[in-house]
Amino acid sequence: MSLINVVDVEATCWEGQPPPGQVSEIIEVGLTVVDLDRQVRLAKHRILVRPRRSRVSAFCTELTSLTQDEVDQGVTFAEACRILAKEHRANTLPWASWGDYDRNQFTRQCRHTNTEYPFSADHTNAKVRFTLAHGLRKRPGMAQALELAGLTLEGRHHRGDDDSWNIAALVLHLRANNAW
C-alpha cells in the first residue's frame, strides 16, 4: 500500500487588505488519504481550527461558508498540527497540495506560533504536476483542472475537506496517466 495525504487549507481572508492587527490564519484543514497502488481515495477528514489573531470576515464566510461561531468550536493550531502528525501520520507520509499556498501557510504559521511543523519533507505540488502532464502554459485552478481532466467537482469549492477530496481525484487522474 502506497499512502499519500492530500491536504487543502482554508484561512481567514478579506476582500482587500486585512483589518489592522489581523493576519491570515488557517481555519480549516482538509485531508484525504489516497492509496496510490490501488488508485482509490480511502478517507476524507476535516479539522476546524480556532484563529487567534484574526476573525472570519463576511467575505470569508461567503467564499468558504465557514463562520466565526463554527471555527470558534475548533481546536488550536498547535492541536491541529498534533492531530495531523499523530492521527494522520503527516510527519512520515508523503503529501500533496494544489500549489504551494498550503505548505507555505503552514510554514509561516508554525514559525509564528512556535509550533512543530506537522508534515514530512516529501511534498508534491499537484498543480505543477498537472500543468506539466497536460502541456499547459498556465497553471489552472483546481476547478478548471477538474474540468480539463473530465472530472466533476464534488462538494463545495473552497471547503478544505471537499477540496482535498477533489485534489485527490486529480492526483489519481495523474497516476492513471503515468504522470505521478
Q: How many CB atoms lie within 10 A of CB 117?
A: 17
- pLDDT recorded at residue 117: 98
- pLDDT recorded at residue 100: 97
Written as nine digits, the cell of 89 is: 501520520
Domains and CATH numbers, the chain: 3-176 (3.30.420.10)
CA gap 3, 171 in Å, rounded = 12
With CA atoms as reference, report the closest residue to 113 among 160, 88, 87, 81.
Answer: 81
- pLDDT recorded at residue 58: 98
Q: Do 19 and 4 meet the contact criterion of CB atoms below 8 Å apart?
A: no
- pLDDT recorded at residue 1: 72
Written as nine digits, the cell of 33 is: 488519504
What is the residue-level pLDDT of the chain in tens, covering all 180 positions? Answer: 799 999 999 999 999 999 999 999 999 999 999 999 999 999 999 999 999 999 999 999 999 999 999 999 999 999 999 999 999 999 999 999 999 999 999 999 999 999 999 999 999 999 999 999 999 999 999 999 999 999 999 999 999 999 999 999 999 999 999 999
- pLDDT recorded at residue 79: 98
